[in-house]
Amino acid sequence: MIKCIATDMDGTLLNSVQQISAANREAILKAQSQGIEVVVATGRSYQEATYVLGEAGLTCPVICVNGAEVRSKEGEVLSATSIGKDLAREVAARLTGKEVYFEVYTNEGAYTVDPDKAVSILVDIVMSANPEVNRDEIIEAAGARIRDGLIHTIEDYELLFANEEYQIYKLLAFSFDRVKLEAANQALAGLTELAIASSGHENIEITHRDAQKGIALEWFVSAKGITLAETMAIGDNYNDVSMLKKAGRSVAMGNAGYEIKSLCDVITDTNEENGVAKAILEVI
Which range among 31-45, 196-210, 227-241 shows the weakest confidence by mean pLDDT? 196-210
User: What are the sequence ranges of the domains in the chain?
Assistant: 4-81+212-281, 85-208
Which range among 42-56, 131-145, 189-203, 265-279 shows the weakest confidence by mean pLDDT? 131-145
Q: Is 86 known to be catalytic?
A: no
Q: What is the mean pLDDT of residues 261-271?
A: 97
pLDDT at 142: 66
Provide CB contacts within 8 A for 35, sequence distance 6+: 3
8, 10, 124, 240: the catalytic one is 8
Provide CB contacts within 8 A for 195, sequence distance 6+: 66, 206, 207, 208, 209, 210, 211, 212
Entry pTM: 0.88
pLDDT in tens, 156-204: 999 999 999 999 999 999 888 889 999 999 999 889 999 998 877 788 9
In this structure, the number of other CB atoms found within 10 A of the CB of residue 87 comes to 16
Q: What percent of the chain has pLDDT over 90?
A: 80
Cβ distance 185 to 196 under 8 Å? yes
> What is the gyration radius of the CA atoms in the chain, in angstroms?
18
Torsion angle of alpha carbons 21, 274, 48, 37, nearest 10°? 100
Using CA atoms, how far apart are residues 124 and 276, in angstroms rounded to an integer?
21
- Domain 4-81+212-281 belongs to what topology? Rossmann fold (3.40.50)
pLDDT at 146: 66
Average pLDDT of the residues of the chain: 92
Confidence of residue 124 (pLDDT cuts 50, 70, 90): confident
Written in H, E and C, the secondary structure of 221-237 is HHHCCCCHHHEEEEECC
pLDDT at 131: 77
pLDDT at 144: 67
Q: What percent of the chain has pLDDT over 70?
A: 97
CATH architecture of 85-208: 2-Layer Sandwich (3.30)
Using CA atoms, how far apart are residues 237 and 141, in angstroms rounded to an integer?
21
